[in-house]
Amino acid sequence: MVESGRGGTHQARFERDVISDQVNKRLSQLDIGDASLVFGRIDQGGTNESETFYIGRIAVWDEKQDPITVDWRAPIAEGFYRATGKHPMGLTRRRHFASRKKVLLGIEDEFFGEDIVDDSEGPVFKGRMTLAATMEQARTGRLGDIVATIQGEQDEIIRSSLSGMLIVQGGPGTGKTVVALHRAAYLLYTHRFPLEGQGVLVIGPNRVFLTYIEQVLPSLGEAGVRLAVLSDLIPRAKVRGYDIERIAAIKGRNSMKDVVRKAIQDRQRPLRKNLRIGYGLQRLNLTVEQSEEIVREGQRRYKRHNSARDFVRDQVFQKLAESSKHQSLNPEKLKNDLASTLDMRKTLEWMWPSLSAEHLIHDLFGSRALLQSAAASFFTDEDIEALYRSRSLHALEVEWTSDDVPILDEAQAQLGPRAGYKEEETIRTYGHIVVDEAQDLSPMELRMLKRRSLNGSMTLVGDIAQATGAWAHDNWDGIVDALSHKSGTRFSQLTVGYRLPQPTMDVAIRLLRDTQFGFNPPVAVREAGDEPRFVHVGIPARLPAMVVALVRAELEKLGSGNLAVIVPDTHLKTMSESLHSSGIGHGLVDAGALEDQVTLVPVSLVKGLEVDAAVVVEPTEIVDGEKNGLRALYVALTRATQRLAIVHTKPLPKPLQEER
């Protein structure tokens, strides 16, 4: 008999839900807003056997299931991105449609044939008119896709295989972030099964960055990718702010995993004296030696602490039952009768407590004695003292820092889920993980990422020259070692810069002349552009007024473009007050992305962002305020696509004094 109700059979309802889900996904794909659906065309074959395909954001078919547009990720579209005069890939013509939203601005054709040979050296650019129009457009405050202007070296990275780890080194303006996002969209298209079920995770350096990139994947028809910062992966923890650099450096060390392990072992304790407990008319006994044996066996059998809790409890009652004068005493009955008594609860809590990550680390950091016991073999006394902080009333009320997050995650991994908390304390894995600004991640953060990778499939993008913070890397070796997987590692480099005019790049690369990263700065596509302006203010008190004047002058030049005032973190409040009192409306980047025409940005949050113009304030203070100060300044100077002004009261850093 088939059970059915008003909604039909169980199978019918299931099938209906599946169809509904598919329809909703297709509708979300078709809802691409103001973006143009079609941006290219390719002609293949000879005159008599030519075929024409239109390349679009998504595939569209007519009522006969013949293609109207081909999805840009389909194999047939590869020639649109990769064909050159030397290697036409079967194309006779490639057409680019230059558009702004849904308005067609122009058409650009490239022809291929035996008599058309491209012998040029260096990068080969396709769709120069479309590319130039895109680069000259005013920024919107949100990162847009580049699906219509993907270049050959970018396409090669996007279409790279799913397996293993892909590391992409790219200087400022090379499009590494947007390439990584397009790669996520490509992998979902090509490997819909199994990735749709396994999930794709994109990790960014901060929430401002996530807001900045959030529109890219939906514009490509992919809305099911999770965008997150590391703290989002532990939703129970209240995360506020960062530790100072010295403490962040300690917490990020790989040896912190050993500290966590020792802290857990310190909570796996034999009894200090024999346990005697009344049961009826007799006394049951558990000796110290027996408790030592139970603890050792629990440690030997189980890798995760909470998994052994039931074993330890059962062994305790087994030993108590064996101590009875009555041979027939059942351990299970004994457990049912005594488990809730105060003495037994205290005994089990002492020997093998049920622990959450938050309680473990809260107790650890709130006790000098516990820290000394757990960390003395790995850290100095000064390091241990730096980790200590006053206890909160309860672990759930602690406001953790971002640097605590990987330690909490490490604790969760070693503890395992508590009974009754399996769903919320089990660490989720993903079929593919994309990591932006990977060059800044600590060993502990890298461990956190690795345990979320289902099979080692990851894409890491970054720029060693832009590495800042407590764990800035000088090369990719340490990152590769931390994330190594049997499926292997591949390395790619983006060599062409699209964002920066050459004059701006020339100034920025002065900061990197003494470094030995082994990477050449990107080749700027935009050879022409305005020279960066250097403005010296002789009287420090007049600095805010000069910044205001520069902002007004730059806005007049820009028209509809956006502008960032990039300041040392210590100048944020003063500069905001000055802009406000002068009648210049502005946003704060920590409250959202670049939503206002003028945005005040602390240098600590500027990485990854892009604006039309930038006013960089007090470069020497930027350099002096951070461990990798020259790199931080390099990041600040490479955000603007059109205009750059540098205003200062103090002497410029030495590299910027040269050739001026």
3-state secondary structure of 203: strand
Predicted pLDDT of residue 25? 59
Average pLDDT over residues 364-376: 97
Average pLDDT over residues 222-236: 94
Q: For the range 328-336, what are the long-range contacts, defined as Cβ-Cβ under 8 Å and sequence gap of 24 or more?
A: 334/279, 334/284
- Tokens 């004047």, residue? 549
Q: Which two tokens stand for residue 303?
A: 């890798």
Cβ proximity of 551 and 643 under 8 Å: no
Predicted pLDDT of residue 18? 52
CA angle 196, 200, 206 (to 5 degrees): 150
Average pLDDT over residues 42-53: 84
Place 101 in a pLDDT band, splitting at 50, 70 and 90: confident
d(CA 495, CA 520): 8
CA 340, 346, 348, 354 torsion-angle sign: positive
Place 121 in a pLDDT band, splitting at 50, 70 and 90: low
Q: Which two tokens stand for residue 598?
A: 């003028």
pLDDT at 660 over 70: no
Q: Which two tokens stand for residue 273?
A: 């004296």
d(CA 458, CA 187): 11
d(CA 180, CA 437): 11
pLDDT digits (tens, 9 = 90+) for 300-326: 999 999 999 999 999 999 999 999 987
Place 594 in a pLDDT band, splitting at 50, 70 and 90: confident
CA angle 534, 173, 229 (to 5 degrees): 110
Predicted pLDDT of residue 2? 47
pLDDT at 344 over 80: yes
pLDDT at 147 over 50: yes
Give alpha helix (H) positions in 464-617: 477-483, 502-508, 543-558, 572-581
More confident residue, 114 or 597: 597
Predicted pLDDT of residue 34? 60
HSE-up of residue 9 (Cα within 13 Å, Cβ side): 6
End-to-end CA distance of the chain: 89
Point out which residues pair with 42 in neighbouring strands: 53, 94
Place 27 in a pLDDT band, splitting at 50, 70 and 90: low
Calculate the CA 474 to chain-centre distance. Answer: 19
Cβ proximity of 479 and 439 under 8 Å: yes
**C-alpha distances in Å from residue 386, one per residue of 246, 247, 264, 351, 366:** 8, 6, 20, 29, 11
**C-alpha distances in Å from residue 421, one per residue of 117, 170, 405, 629:** 65, 42, 19, 44
- Per-position b or e across 138-168, b if 16+ CB within 10 A of its CB: ebbbbbbbbbbbbbbbbbebbbbebebbbbb
3-state secondary structure of 239: strand
pLDDT at 399 over 60: yes
pTM, rounded to two decimals: 0.91
Across the chain, mean pLDDT equals 90
pLDDT at 164 over 80: yes
Percent of the chain surpassing pLDDT 70: 90
CA 594, 598, 604, 608 torsion-angle sign: positive
Residue 29's φ and ψ, nearest 5 degrees, are: -65, -45
pLDDT at 33 over 90: no
How many CB atoms are located within 10 Å of the residue 617 CB?
26
- Could you tell me which of 186, 111, 204, 100 has the C-alpha nearest to residue 144? 100
User: Between the ranges 100-114, 158-172, 217-231, where is the mean pLDDT highest?
Assistant: 158-172
Percent of the chain surpassing pLDDT 90: 74
Q: Which two tokens stand for residue 484?
A: 């190594």
Average pLDDT over residues 396-417: 95
- Could you tell me which of 252, 165, 260 has the C-alpha nearest to residue 445? 252
Average pLDDT over residues 497-502: 92
Q: Which residues contact 571 (CB under 8 A, 6 or more apart)?
A: 617, 618, 621
- Could you tell me which of 137, 151, 141 has the C-alpha nearest to residue 182? 151
How many CB atoms are located within 10 Å of the residue 401 CB?
20
pLDDT at 36 over 60: yes
Q: Which amino acid is at 13?
A: R
How many CB atoms are located within 10 Å of the residue 25 CB?
15
Predicted pLDDT of residue 1? 47
Average pLDDT over residues 50-64: 92
Which of these ranges, 77-91, 361-375, 429-443, has the smallest mean pLDDT?
77-91
pLDDT at 171 over 50: yes
pLDDT digits (tens, 9 = 90+) for 602-631: 999 999 999 999 999 999 999 999 888 999
Average pLDDT over residues 398-427: 96
pLDDT at 443 over 70: yes
Predicted pLDDT of residue 388? 97
Strand order in the sheet with 587-588: 533-536, 640-648, 611-617, 563-567, 598-602, 587-588
pLDDT digits (tens, 9 = 90+) for 231-255: 999 998 999 889 999 999 999 999 9
Average pLDDT over residues 512-528: 77
d(CA 76, CA 267): 60
194: preceding bond cis by omega (within 30 degrees): yes
Pairing of strands 200-203, 432-436: parallel
pLDDT digits (tens, 9 = 90+) for 70-99: 999 999 999 999 998 888 999 999 999 988
Predicted pLDDT of residue 649? 97
Point out which residues pair with 69 in neighbouring strands: 60
Biggest CA-to-CA distance, the chain: 106
3-state secondary structure of 131: helix
